[in-house]
Amino acid sequence: MLSDILVPMDDSEHAGHALEYALENNPDAEITVLNVVGVPSMLMGDAVGLSLEGDLDAAAEERAAGVFERARMIADERDREIETIVGIGHPARNIIDRAEAYDAVILGSHGEDWGRATRRFLVGNVAETVSKRAPVPVTIVR
């Protein structure tokens, strides 16, 4: 039985489905939603933008607020509570580095739709990378 589950989440539809799956199939587990900001891009735009902020942690929290609001709505619809944490940097690395503190990782099969080809070229497929390298079981939800 799983007691602590990490659900990485972005603005994608698949990420929302992953959270729904985690909540519905693990009624007794504590669910933590992770949003990673500062995703590397060809010009390092988002990551560089964050680094120029006066308070990096506050800027990261602000960028994650919309994702967390959506996550809380999904949880509220199921009368559940969730924890939220923000990561900064490369999504797959963030997820893998945090995974051993949880019993499992449940994530969406695809991330945000913008710049998909560019992101896969630079970042790789996050779900695939996490499934191959995470130290705990990984469930990929479509």
* Per-residue 3-state assignment (H helix, E strand, C coil) for 79-95: CCCCEEEEEECCHHHHH
Looking at the structure, give the CATH architecture of the domain made up of residues 4-141: 3-Layer(aba) Sandwich (3.40)
Whole-number pLDDT of residue 46: 52
State pLDDT tens for residues 18-36.
Answer: 999 999 999 999 999 999 9
Predicted confidence at residue 39, as pLDDT, reads 58
Please give the pLDDT value at position 60.
Answer: 83
Give the residue extent of every domain in the chain: 4-141
Percent of the chain with pLDDT over 70: 77
Q: For residue range 77-121, what is the model confidence (pLDDT) as tens digits?
A: 999 999 999 998 889 999 999 999 999 999 998 765 544 554 444
pLDDT at 115: 46
- Nearest in space to 36 (alpha carbons), one of 66, 16, 53, 60: 60
CB 141 within 8 A of CB 109: yes
Distances (CA, A) of 105 to 50, 112, 121: 26, 18, 24
